[in-house]
Structure 1
């Protein structure tokens, strides 16, 4: 009986390894897609204009 329980635990633990690897792969792809989208948004002309306006306003308040 103990051998059966040990074998079952090994099989169960081995099956979890593949699932976590697949989850990491999906998470990595999702993070890369989100980074690409964020880069596209930040480098757009509208956002660039807004950021430059904020910086210009901050610098004009200081000096």
Structure 2
């Protein structure tokens, strides 16, 4: 009887372990639709960032920062 109970417990533990491993490793990445949405969002963000960086005010500020950095006395 003792061997039978031990075998049942061991078998159940293996089932639980396998289930937990599937749950942990089950979602390894994005599906194609998620990639598409991610790419569209990244392109939209890049376009908005490009517009901000190439605007007159921001361009002047960036040039000023770079100019001050290049003229630092060492």
The question of a shared fold, defined as TM-score above 0.5 by the shorter chain, is answered with yes
TM, length-normalised to structure 1 = 0.57
- CA distance, structure 1, for counterparts of residue 19 and residue 12 of structure 2: 11
SS of the counterpart of 1:60? Answer: helix
Q: Does 1:41 align with 2:19?
A: no
Give the number of the structure with larger relative contact order, counting CA–CA contacts within 8 Å between residues 6 or more apart.
1
**Counterpart in the other structure of 2:17:** 13
**Counterpart in the other structure of 1:59:** 63
Which entry has the higher C-alpha Rg, 1 or 2? 2
Q: As a proportion of its length, which structure holds more helix?
A: 1
**Counterpart in the other structure of 2:72:** none
- CA distance, structure 2, for counterparts of residue 29 and residue 56 of structure 1: 40
- The number of aligned residues is 59
CA RMSD of aligned residues (A): 2.9
List runs of 5+ in structure 2 lacking aligned partners.
69-74
TM, length-normalised to structure 2 = 0.52
